[in-house]
Amino acid sequence: MNITNRFLKYVTFLTTSDENTGMNPSTPGQMVFAQYLAKELEAIGLKEIDLDKNGYLMATLPANTTEDIPVIGFIAHMDTSPDASGKHVTPHIVENYQGNDILLNDEEAIVLETEKYPEILQYKGQDIIVTNGKTLLGADDKAGIAEIVSAMEYLVAHPEIKHGKIRIGFTPDEEIGQGADHFDVKKFGAAWAYTMDGGEIGELEFENFNAASAKITFNGLNVHPGYAKHKMRNSMRIAYQFANMLPRHETPEHTEHYEGFYHMTSMQGTVEETVLTYIIRDHDRARFESRKKELQHLTNKINAEFGPGTAILELKDQYYNMREKIEPVMYVVELAKQAMIATGVTPKVKPIRGGTDGARLSFEGLPCPNIFAGGHNFHGRFEYLPVQSMQKAMEVIISIVSILADKHKELCN
């Protein structure tokens, strides 16, 4: 099966994750997809195929040389984001794209406009997979899975390409921050790995946000509004006051590159109780800790003004910047750079304004930089995937294992 058809098959599986179910994996469609992938991996000749009860799928391409080459891995996630519908994904391919706006849905006049998404213009002359304007596409991260599986299939069919033992892993629930929760690093048994979960062609990332979540509960007191003077305490107004005390321009829509932010993700309230939820992000660990302290400081100010227990803050760290775990083994990044250059791809080394499974896995002993999967506009109906970018990602995987086999002594010293 060619890589395009493989990807188009994968997106037919409904694998939207859901943080509210309390299950592992969080939705049953992910296990259905994992079972399909397990059969496919067996069919192409992989060994040691293991699908556990939590939906984690691992497999091995055995070494075809007796040389002592480090075991490496490639990882991608099976779920798609709950930010947009992943049900009844109906993609189509715009062949030989000519730089025009793309009509995604004639009936509802949904158009992917080049003025809003100018990055698409760099793919003139290529074939681009788009949505029907009603769902996300699922390139995040089914493109990564297709690239890994297709690369393994190619290596099986071309035994003349020398390589060491290769491990692959497909995880559930990455989009809800749980992708590494039950990943068994020891069982995976690789010296390092790469997540195929980046964006546009050439992306190579070994640093990401430090991340935390915050929940602030504001307790009020309801009294009949006609008799409320000096008695009512409106929790929604107090929550609004709290939100306005945060730096106005330290939000996602005002930041880029290494700039961190506070991001309110939900607000629910009545006079009696209001709950605000935030995510806190910063690449710099000291600034990250400072942001958490600021939330506590503002909580204390609210309680000083309105009384103890008016605001209750719950903070939870989610993941940290993997840079500190990658820097001691920078040869794993250098190998990926060399592989990209060898396949005609210009490396674009940049920080992730987000996180991947690899961030947490790096702190669990599996250094894990992130490589492009090729898509754009993830998590929404304007998501698209250039076919040629997906093919190049597959070639980069093949190039990584080939270069490592030839230069492992030089690279790893």
Residue numbers annotated as active site: 79, 174
- The Cα–Cα gap between 67 and 62 comes to 12
- Which residues on neighbouring strands pair with residue 348, listed in sequence order? 203
Residue type, 239: A
Location of structure tokens 């992989």: 46
Residue 65 exposed, middle or buried by CB count within 10 Å (0-12, 13-18, 19+): exposed
- The Cα–Cα gap between 141 and 147 comes to 10
1's tokens: 């099966």
| Contact indicator for 242, 257 with CB cutoff of 8 Å | no
Give me the DSSP letters along 126-171. Answer: S-EEE--SSS---HHHHHHHHHHHHHHHHHHH-TTS----EEEEEE
Residue 58 exposed, middle or buried by CB count within 10 Å (0-12, 13-18, 19+): buried
Residue 327 DSSP label: G
- The Cα–Cα gap between 234 and 223 comes to 9
CB neighbour list of residue 293: distance below 8 Å, 6 or more residues apart: none
> What is the four-CA torsion angle of 311, 314, 319, 320, rounded to 10 degrees?
60
Among residues 406, 296, 384, the alpha carbon closest in space to that of 114 is found at 384
Give Dmax (Cα) for the chain.
85
Handedness of CA 369, 373, 374, 380 (dihedral sign): negative
